[in-house]
């Protein structure tokens, strides 16, 4: 069927003002020119297009004295539903937004019918449309720390190792590995096919790891401990470390350590790199990203044939939500941490003493607002012997000046609630709060000269010893507050810590120093509300959580 648009709807509406549906009319072309208010040639073109869509039956006149035969085949609401259904099937919402503005409630009703039809078709054909997914700007693992992008990266690429539910390392692309002092040897599976049909070999892994080590990005520090990597055979690689580091194998299980296949010679690095994951990248534009099941995946195949991640217009989402039943939700704790980082900058309107007073106040105030979910460190420890009386009656300091707070746009409701609490708590001290958007979460240095504070939430990887190591190396907050010289000194201290006989204890000391220096303030453990559904629906309108994202289409 030809592509339908709002122009076709407007022309059908003009015809319906003069002719009833299902009734045959004998008309001169001159009459139709007047009805459509256009030229003879354009009238013929319009009627042919409407006939191709099946909206009218039209037999043009043969000869000057003959009349044309016209039957309008369907109502305007039926045509409107067809157009909306077409756009939903493509994961597009720009035209639907325009139709909402043009036809109001008629479009809302059409959207309800089209959503029900498309939902049934999606379920029958193992397709999934998620309508509220944040825009994906990059799928390059070394360029992002955004959770929305890393979730897609996990589906497009594989890592050398994986982790089970309790954080233990398990095989992935590498079916066996051995760490001996400074040398990590990995044996690759021989049966892995990339999305382009080529077999994955050791040279692909070497190229991908060297790219992670030598390309500037938010996770580059994690690969500083890697001195060299080489292929010893088609399916065996050896990684040489600068010093013994028991945490390094866990680095290889991160989504950021995903393995990409080498590009063709003389090929500019493509936007859609070739991976081996359960899904390949299909259509990717400003409105949506489509993932297509990899039929030759080496492990368990994906449950769903095609997934469309659309960042639809909020007006459309509201209209769709209105016509859908809201399922029961359950709230669960996830291994994520919201925290504040303090940044004493030269051009600030507040001095170091004011920041110290604010730090002490917020460290107590967080217990006043949500004592059950407060944490004191990255081990998610919360002291149970806090004096409730002192918490409830702690003194609010009297502060003056304007404090600049950087934070991303929050897409998860409970994080927006944390931000709202923080703004109000700071304003209680008398400080004026100016909020600026952190647009590039992977580049917090971009706002370091503008902001005094940064509010962020990050997943803390398991096991907890490795999670602390990773956070101390690449966390967004520390890269916001540390200068180049401070980061270099910090990395040196980390290298010494992981070589210690008790590395976790040394890492905890470094963490505590950040709190003693009032540079970082842990706030709350992460939470997520997930809609409880018995099966994956064909269209998910209000999916705002990420923790079950991969399981949604891969199964347990």
Residue 401's SS3 state is: coil
What residue ranges of the chain are covered by domains with CATH 3.40.190.10? Answer: 147-324
Phi, psi torsion values for 78, nearest 5 degrees: -65, -40
What residue ranges of the chain are covered by domains with CATH 1.10.10.10? Answer: 6-125
DSSP, residue by residue, 489-554: HHHHHHHHHHTSSSHHHHHHHHHHHHHHTTSEEEEEEEEEEEE--SS--SEES-----TTHHHHHH
Question: Cα(71)–Cα(49) distance, rounded to whole angstroms?
Answer: 14
Question: Cα(110)–Cα(116) distance, rounded to whole angstroms?
Answer: 10
Name the CATH superfamily housing domain 330-528. Dipeptide-binding Protein; Domain 3 (3.10.105.10)
Q: What is the pLDDT of residues 513-544, one digit of tens each?
A: 999 999 999 999 987 655 544 445 555 554 44
Structure tokens of 31? 């009459």
Q: What is the pLDDT of residues 356-405, one digit of tens each?
A: 999 999 999 999 888 888 999 999 887 755 655 455 567 899 999 999 99
Give all strands (DSSP E) within 167-287, no chain letters.
169-171, 174-180, 183-188, 226-233, 236-241, 279-284
CATH placement of domain 6-125? 1.10.10.10
CA-nearest of 539, 535, 538, 537 to 555 is 535
Q: At what angle do helices 40-53 and 6-16 cross, to 10 degrees?
A: 100
CA Rg value for the chain = 29
Structural contact between residues 408 and 442, judged by C-beta atoms closer than 8 angstroms: no
Structural contact between residues 128 and 122, judged by C-beta atoms closer than 8 angstroms: yes
Q: What percent of the chain has pLDDT over 70?
A: 87
Q: What is the pLDDT of residues 249-297, one digit of tens each?
A: 999 999 999 999 988 765 555 566 789 999 999 999 888 899 999 999 9
Residue 28's SS3 state is: coil
Q: What is the pLDDT of residues 148-190, one digit of tens each?
A: 898 899 999 999 999 987 889 999 999 999 999 999 999 999 9
Q: What is the pLDDT of residues 451-477, one digit of tens each?
A: 999 999 998 988 899 999 999 999 999
What residue ranges of the chain are covered by domains with CATH 3.10.105.10? Answer: 330-528
Bigger pLDDT: 14 vs 111: 14
Question: Cα(221)–Cα(251) distance, rounded to whole angstroms?
Answer: 11
- Give me the residue label for tokens 């002719």: 19
Question: Cα(152)–Cα(322) distance, rounded to whole angstroms?
Answer: 28
Mean pLDDT (the chain, rounded): 87
Structure tokens of 335? 């291994």
Question: Cα(252)–Cα(275) distance, rounded to whole angstroms?
Answer: 16
Q: Spell out the residues 6+ positions from residue 527 whose beta carbon is closer than 8 angstroms to its own.
A: 331, 332, 333, 334, 373, 414
Question: Cα(122)–Cα(133) distance, rounded to whole angstroms?
Answer: 18
CATH placement of domain 147-324? 3.40.190.10
DSSP β-ladder status, 402-407 and 453-459:
parallel
Q: What is the pLDDT of residues 130-140, one digit of tens each?
A: 877 888 899 99
Q: In terms of pTM, does the model score above 0.85?
A: no
Edge-first strand order for the sheet with 432-437 is 432-437, 402-407, 453-459, 329-342, 520-531
Structural contact between residues 444 and 453, judged by C-beta atoms closer than 8 angstroms: no
Residue 106's SS3 state is: helix
Q: What is the pLDDT of residues 401-452, one digit of tens each?
A: 999 999 999 877 889 999 999 999 999 999 999 999 999 888 999 999 999 9
Verify cis geometry, omega within 30 degrees of 0, for the bond prior to 463.
yes
548 pLDDT exceeds 70?
Answer: no
DSSP, residue by residue, 428-469: HTTPEEEEEE---TT-GGGGTTT-SEEEEEEE--SSHHHHHH
CA-nearest of 361, 411, 369, 351 to 147 is 411
């Amino acid at each position: 069927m030809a592509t339908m648009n709002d122009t076709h709807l407007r022309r059908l509406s003009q015809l319906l003002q003069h002719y009833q549906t299902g009734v045959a009319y004998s008309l001169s072309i001159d009459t139709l020119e007047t009805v459509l208010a256009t030229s003879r040639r354009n009238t013929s073109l319009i009627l042919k297009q409407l006939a191709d869509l099946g909206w009218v039956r039209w037999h043009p006149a043969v000869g000057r004295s003959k009349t044309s035969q016209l039957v309008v085949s369907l109502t305007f609401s039926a045509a409107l539903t067809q157009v909306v259904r077409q756009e939903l099937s493509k994961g597009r919402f720009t035209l639907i937004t325009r139709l909402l503005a043009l036809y109001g409630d008629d479009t809302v009703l059409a959207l309800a019918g089209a959503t029900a039809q498309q939902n049934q078709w999606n379920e029958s054909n193992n397709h999934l449309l998620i309508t509220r997914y944040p825009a994906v700007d990059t799928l390059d693992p070394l360029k992002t720390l955004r959770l929305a992008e890393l979730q897609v990266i996990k589906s497009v690429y594989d890592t050398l190792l994986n982790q089970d539910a309790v954080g233990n390392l398990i095989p992935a692309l590498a079916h066996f590995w051995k760490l001996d002092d400074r040398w990590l040897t990995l044996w690759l599976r021989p049966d892995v096919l990339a999305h382009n049909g080529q077999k994955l070999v050791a040279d692909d892994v070497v190229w991908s790891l060297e790219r992670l080590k030598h390309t500037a990005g938010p996770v580059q520090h994690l690969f500083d401990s890697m001195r060299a990597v080489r292929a010893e055979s088609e399916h065996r690689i050896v990684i040489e470390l600068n010093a013994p580091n028991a945490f390094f194998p866990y680095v290889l299980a991160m989504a950021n350590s995903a393995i990409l296949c080498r590009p063709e010679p003389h090929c500019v690095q493509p936007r859609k790199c070739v991976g081996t994951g359960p899904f390949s990248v299909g259509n990717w534009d400003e409105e949506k990203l489509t993932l297509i099941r990899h039929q030759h995946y080496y492990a368990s195949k994906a449950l769903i044939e095609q997934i469309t991640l659309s960042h639809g217009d909020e007006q459309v989402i509201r209209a769709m939500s209105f016509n859908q039943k809201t399922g029961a939700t359950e709230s669960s704790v996830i291994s994520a941490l919201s925290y504040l980082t303090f940044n004493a900058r030269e051009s600030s309107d507040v001095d170091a003493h004011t920041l110290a007073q604010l730090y002490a106040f917020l460290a107590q105030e967080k217990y006043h607002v949500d004592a059950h979910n407060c944490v004191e460190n990255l081990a998610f420890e919360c002291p149970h012997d806090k004096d409730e009386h002192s918490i409830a009656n702690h003194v609010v300091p009297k502060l003056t000046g304007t404090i600049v707070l950087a934070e991303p746009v929050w897409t998860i409701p409970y994080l927006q609630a944390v931000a709202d609490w923080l703004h109000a708590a700071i304003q209680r001290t008398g400080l004026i709060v100016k909020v600026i958007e952190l647009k590039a979460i992977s580049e917090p240095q971009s706002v370091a000269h503008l902001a005094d504070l940064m509010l962020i939430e990050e997943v803390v990887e398991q096991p907890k010893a490795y999670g602390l190591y990773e956070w101390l190396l690449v966390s967004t907050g520390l890269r916001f507050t540390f200068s180049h010289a401070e980061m270099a000194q910090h990395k040196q201290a980390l290298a010494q810590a992981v070589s210690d006989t008790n590395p976790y204890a040394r890492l905890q000391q470094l963490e505590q120093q950040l709190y003693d220096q009032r540079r970082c303030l842990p706030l709350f453990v992460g939470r997520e509300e997930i809609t409880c559904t018995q099966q994956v629906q064909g269209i998910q309108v209000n999916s705002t959580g990420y923790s079950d994202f991969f399981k949604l289409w891969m199964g347990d």
